Structure 1
Amino acid sequence: MRKGTIALGLLMAFSATGVSFAQQNSAMTNSGTAMTVGRESKAEFDRMNQKGAAMVAAIQPTSAKLSSADQALMMEVAKGGMMQLEVSKIAVQKASNEEVRQLAQAEVEEQTGLSAKLKEIADAKGVTLPSAPDAETQTKLTQMQGMSGAEFDRTYVSESGVKGHEKLDMVMSKVRSNASDSNLKNIEKAAHPLVKAHLKVSREIMNKMSGNGMSGSR
């Protein structure tokens, strides 16, 4: 069979399944094997991120006023999410390893959606959330901007991927146990599973880095 015929046949096969060459390539590593993020396949990682985003987006804000305790919990969620978002924005641009970049991109998408929903809920209840990173976050951003390569990747996964998600996990657990407002309870139900999933994936990526080193290639 001539090469042109083979190429045409492959093109038709991809077209029939609705999968583009770009989509095929985006799910593959440089070695030609299916990409993973931690121990998850890229496809499964994307699926769980999309599910979490849809659950957050589906929450309908109410005008019920928050107690002072619930308002404090909302502030904790907002503050932790903002730090994760801002650090991850840097990581999307600076990460030298593709798994780390994929984790950062997923985090940006998660926290952007969560931040938007928190603001929507806060506006409905007459609560003002922080609009800019606090001093602790600014210090962290400056530190991360001064790093590059493997040092940056390790620091991002350790500080944001693992420690950041451990903090968010604790905050979400407090919301589950102590919140009385239905919107806050629904935020926990929608977002907490993805926080746990990102923590698990972050630990797996960290283990890869510690065990056999990760290639810096994209």
Structure 2
Amino acid sequence: MKTKSMAFGLFVSLSLATASLAQQTNSTMTAGSTTTVGKESTSSFDSQNKKGAAAVAAVKASPEKLSGADQDLMLQVAKGGVMQLEASKLAVQQATNPEIKLLAQAEVDEQTGLSAKLQEIASAKGMTLPTGPDAETQTMLSKLQSATGMSFDRLYLTESGVKGHEKLDIVMSTVQSSASDASLKAVAKAAHPLIKTHLKVARQIVDKL
């Protein structure tokens, strides 16, 4: 009986030690896999996201009505933002690559803040912005929803991480150079640096895959 008891105790000790080692290994792998996002350190990436969010939040909404051209530009910004937001919500849940998950979460945070600011500006000017995805966005979301694993990761990075940010980069540049409304120009100026950062990081992650 004593021999069996000692053997059982040894088995339990070895099992606990193995489980502890496995947990430590998993934690190390998880931490190690997310020390960078693209070529940015996670701390630097987080800092840039916080700085961008603060810049957008600080923009003041003026009550002056928008010209037809400015309304069109604002709609383009809003449309691109909704597309990025909805795609990134999916990526937070479905992406398998930890760097993509971090990028997607940063995108959700960015576009949520930008959407709130655009709605604030639109409300001050008596304008209504779309709050849901349009047909183009729905098509992209359907493609993402049908993809899994690495196929999902690549599709999200291609459609949202790269192409989506390229479109927003162009739109924000156009707003800053062509818009006449001060609030609209200010929000584009505030959001544009982070859009460029997310585009750069997305391209860097693509190169790693």
TM-score of the aligned structures, taking structure 1 as reference length: 0.81
The structure that is helix-richer by fraction is 2
Structure 2 residue 87 is matched with structure 1 residue 92: no
Partner-residue secondary structure (3-state), 1:30: helix
Q: Is the Cα contact below 8 Å between 1:99 and 1:205 reproduced in 2?
A: yes
Deviations 1:64-106 (A, max 9, x none): 1100000100000000000000000000000001000000000
| Counterpart-to-counterpart distance in 1, 2:31 and 2:121 | 45
Contact 1:28 1:34 survives alignment (8 Å): no
* 1:83 counterpart residue number: 83
CA contact (8 A) 1:57 1:117 kept: yes
Match of 2:119 in 1: 119
> In the alignment, residue 204 of structure 2 is paired with which amino acid?
E
SS of 1:59's partner is coil
Tell me the residue number matched to 1:22: none
Q: Point out where structure 1 has 5 or more consecutive residues left out of the alignment.
A: 1-26, 210-218
CA contact (8 A) 2:33 2:99 kept: no
Whole-angstrom distance in 1 between the partners of 2:137 and 2:201? 23
Instruction: Report deviation, 1:34.
Output: 6.6
CA contact (8 A) 2:92 2:105 kept: yes
Indicate the residue corresponding to 1:12 in structure 2: none
Task: Please state how far the C-alpha of 1:189 moved relative to its aligned partner.
Answer: 1.1
Residue aligning to 2:203: 203
Q: Could you tell me which amino acid in structure 2 is paired with residue 199 of structure 1?
A: L
Shift of 1:31: 6.7
> In the aligned structure 2, how far is the partner of 1:81 from the partner of 1:41?
25
Divergent runs of 4+, >2 A = 27-34
Give ranges in structure 2 of 5+ residues lacking alignment: 1-26
Structure 1 Cα separation of the partners of residues 55 and 167 of structure 2:
21
Cα shift at 1:188: 1.3
Superposed counterparts of 1:9-158, under 5 Å: 29-30=29-30, 32=32, 35-158=35-158
Give the match's secondary structure for 2:30.
coil
CA distance in 1, matches of 2:53, 2:90: 21
Larger Rg: 2
Structure 1 residues 151-166: aligned runs within 5 Å: 151-166=151-166
Structure 1 residues 31 and 121, CA, compared in 2 at 3 Å: closer, same or farther? closer
Question: Counterpart amino acid of 1:105?
Answer: Q
- Residues paired across the two proteins, number: 183
Cα shift at 1:33: 7.1
3-state SS, counterpart of residue 152 of structure 1: helix
Percentage of pairs with the same residue: 62
Does the 8 Å contact 1:28/1:35 carry over to 2?
Answer: no
| TM-score, scaled to structure 2 | 0.85
Q: Aligned to 2:101, what secondary structure does the other structure show?
A: helix
